Amino acid sequence: MYPSMRRRLGIWEIVPLALVAMLLMRASDSFAQQKLDTNTLQTPQVVRLSPPPMPQPVEVPQIDPKSLIRIPVTVVDNGGRCFEALRAGDFSLRIDGVESPITLFRANHATAAALGVLVDISQAMSYRSYWHSGLVSKIPFVREALRAVIDKLDSHDNIFVAGFARRFHMLNDFTTDHGYLLERLPMLRPTDQLDDFDGDGIYESMIKGITVLTHAPQACDRRALLVFTSAWDDTSTHGVEDVIAKAQFAGVTVYNVIVQGFQQEADVFWLRNTIGRIATETGGRTFVVNAWGEGDIIAIATDAITSELDNQYLLGVSTPHSGRGVLPVELMLPNHPGLRARAPSAVRIRPGEVFGQVAKAPNMLPE
């Protein structure tokens, strides 16, 4: 009988098989260990990132208000009433067709106003009445209207008053002493000086009035010029374009009160395209009243002017990089469809040489 297979395999045959199996297991363990070492069990490499740099504060440019374009704005509702409580973000401003960020914003009551008042004291401010012998002066009517304006101003608003015929005469420089100014109003009377006869330098006087406003106290961001005149017999050597340019460059709003006599003395179409155009293109208004029997109308005019002056906004934008000196303005209130903004139709970024001719000190009204 042959021995069984188990019996045939001696100890020496079994040992090699065990050794082979052991070697195979070690090789498998080594491979697994190597695989784990390369994927899972490696000592993690610590990457030390340098700390992020500390954020540097953003430098706010120190904007000189003199280098900004000043745009006075009046906002009214559908009823013509001034609207308050708007913010810079409520306005959308385009200059020369380009969206312009508002870098300066003054709300209506945030700052004082500077108001310049010009009163025509020429012979044209008299009219012939059927009920009175001789000529009747319109200036007492203007004095009462001006008294109403001064009474409605805020106590911190600065105001100057000047008269004009052929020449420009200062009655009082800027003051917040409104009581003292009211006492001086009787000095506004028709001129009797020969150098002022037979002429009325309306446009030169408006340019000089705007020049005075450019020297208003620093706290006065809002600037307006109020002109009482008959708008007749003008002998100016400058014109409408000169006044508009000067006012737009200085950020001055112009208001006109055209004082007629017993009858209509100036053509309405002519007024609209001359002195009225000055007001329109600077964001102001023009009122035409008669000195005879129209106290209610002059009250409406003075109320509207003082209300707008008291509720005016001031926007400031940086000077655009443009080669042109006259840039069209488009101002909108996209989120307020029921409101309307009235502002200059254009801005000037450089004054013309013509404005250097008005620096002569004005004459004072005689006591």
Enter the tokens of residue 1.
Answer: 């009988």
Q: What percent of the chain has pLDDT over 70?
A: 68
Pairing of strands 286-290, 252-260: parallel
SS3 labels along the chain: CCCCHHHHCCHHHHHHHHHHHHHHHHHHHHHHHHHHHHHCCCCCCCCCCCCCCCCCCCCCCCCCHHHEEEEEEEEECCCCCECCCCCHHHCEEEECCEECCCCEEECCCCCEEEEEEEEECCHHHEEECCCCCCEEECHHHHHHHHHHHHHHCCCCCEEEEEEECCCEEEEEEEECCHHHHHHHHHHCCCCCCHHHCCCECHHHHHHHHHHHHCCCCCCEEEEEEEEEECCCCECCCCCHHHHHHHHHHHCEEEEEEEEECCCCCCCHHHHHHCHHHHHHHCCCCEEEEECCCCHHHHHHHHHHHHHHHHCCEEEEEECCCCCCCEEEEEEECCCCCCCEEECCCEEECCCCHHHHHHCCCCEECCC
When the pLDDT of each residue in the chain is averaged and rounded to a whole number, the result is: 77
Mean pLDDT computed over 270-278: 90
Question: pTM for the complete prediction?
Answer: 0.74
The string of pLDDT tens digits covering residues 174-187 is 999 999 999 999 99
Enter the tokens of residue 356.
Answer: 């250097």
Nearest to 131 by CA among 257, 229, 261: 261
The string of pLDDT tens digits covering residues 343-362 is 999 887 764 433 444 444 44
The string of pLDDT tens digits covering residues 186-240 is 999 888 776 766 667 899 999 999 999 999 998 888 899 999 998 876 677 888 9
Does 25 score more than 60 pLDDT? no
- pLDDT value at position 29? 53
Confidence band for 53, pLDDT divided at 50, 70 and 90: low
Q: What percent of the chain has pLDDT over 90?
A: 35
The string of pLDDT tens digits covering residues 130-171 is 566 667 788 888 999 999 999 999 899 999 999 998 888 999
Whole-number Cα distances in Å, 343 to 107, 153, 202, 233, 240: 15, 21, 23, 30, 18
- pLDDT value at position 348? 79
Which domains occur in the chain, in start order?
67-364 (3.40.50.410)
b/e 315-327 (16+ beta carbons within 10 angstroms → b): bbbbeeeeeeeeb
Rounded to whole angstroms, how far apart are CA atoms 367 and 92?
Answer: 50
Contact 129, 292 (CB under 8 A): yes
The string of pLDDT tens digits covering residues 313-352 is 989 888 766 666 788 999 999 999 999 999 999 887 764 4
